[in-house]
Amino acid sequence: AQTVTQSQPEMSVQEAETVTLSCTYDTSESNYYLFWYKQPPSRQMILVIRQEAYKQQNATENRFSVNFQKAAKSFSLKISDSQLGDTAMYFCAFMKPDNDMRFGAGTRLTVKP
Amino acid sequence: DTAVSQTPKYLVTQMGNDKSIKCEQNLGHDTMYWYKQDSKKFLKIMFSYNNKELIINETVPNRFSPKSPDKAHLNLHINSLELGDSAVYFCASSHKAGNQPQHFGDGTRLSIL
């Protein structure tokens, strides 16, 4: 079974600074997909970024980028130039090709003005 | 415009009652899911359907019964509600291809009195 671990229950960052959220996973699969989802207080689940395991290049979406280390089974999220609207729960997710997706426990990020 | 819509958004009911949550997606996806998010924000998959066929059926009490009348709808019926069923239930959808992210509805907060 796949497990996803987010070791930081809570983090905070000053506005305009950079923060990195950690995620590790355990799997015996060779082909899989990784995602970061954001859940603001409004409760919506919003896709932030995704990474295919077969791609060596780290994914980037504007201020959000990942550091994907396949051998270490690590998938961290870096948020640059943090904004107040980035305050949310962030979930790391692992998905097998059959669409079976498993989430980590989440990291609550607070951006301080 | 809503891509994945769930109704109702809030559901407050008594222990022992039977209730249903409806989900519809207009994204043309062929796979739909139900997730449960508990009070600690932990997200766990319950079911997934692909073209009306049950694909993932996690260890969920058989009081929970999903129904997919067509590939755009996946409803969740819960019999004999218990206190432990209080949670937020999310519907999601995606294309079958494994590299596609899942799009989530806004969730239904179920509170059992």
Tens-place pLDDT, residues A15-53: 999 999 999 999 998 899 999 999 999 999 999 999 999
Q: Which of A19, A25, A5, A8 is nearest to A107 (CA)?
A: A8
Residues of chain B with pLDDT under 70: 1-2, 98
pLDDT for A2 beyond 80: no
| Nearest-CA distance B88 → chain A (Å) | 9
Q: DSSP secondary-structure letter at A84?
A: G
Dig out the tokens for A85 from the structure. Answer: 């609207």
Residue type, B70: D
Label residue A1 by pLDDT band (50, 70, 90).
low
B102 contacts in A (CB within 8 Å)? 99, 101
Asked if B84 reaches chain A (Cβ–Cβ under 8 Å), the answer is: no
Q: DSSP secondary-structure letter at B30?
A: S
Interface touch A95/B98, C-beta < 8 Å = yes
Query: What are A50-104's pLDDT values in tens digits?
Result: 999 988 889 999 999 999 999 999 999 999 999 999 999 999 999 988 888 999 9
Q: Where are the beta strands (DSSP E) in A1-113?
A: 3-5, 10-14, 19-21, 24-26, 33-39, 46-52, 60-61, 64-69, 74-79, 88-95, 101-103, 107-112
pLDDT for res A47: 95
Count other Cβ atoms within 10 Å, centred on residue A52.
15
Query: Which residue does chain A place closest to B49, by CA atoms?
Result: A99
Q: DSSP secondary-structure letter at B97?
A: S
Interface test with B, best of A45, A50, A89, A102 (most B CBs within 10 A): A45
A99 contacts in B (CB within 8 Å)? 31, 33, 48, 50, 55-56, 94, 96, 98, 100, 102
Residue B96, class by beta-carbon neighbours within 10 Å (0-12 exposed, 13-18 middle, 19+ buried)?
Answer: middle
State how beta strands B31-37 and B87-94 pair: antiparallel
Q: How far apart are CA B72 and CA B100, in angstroms?
A: 17
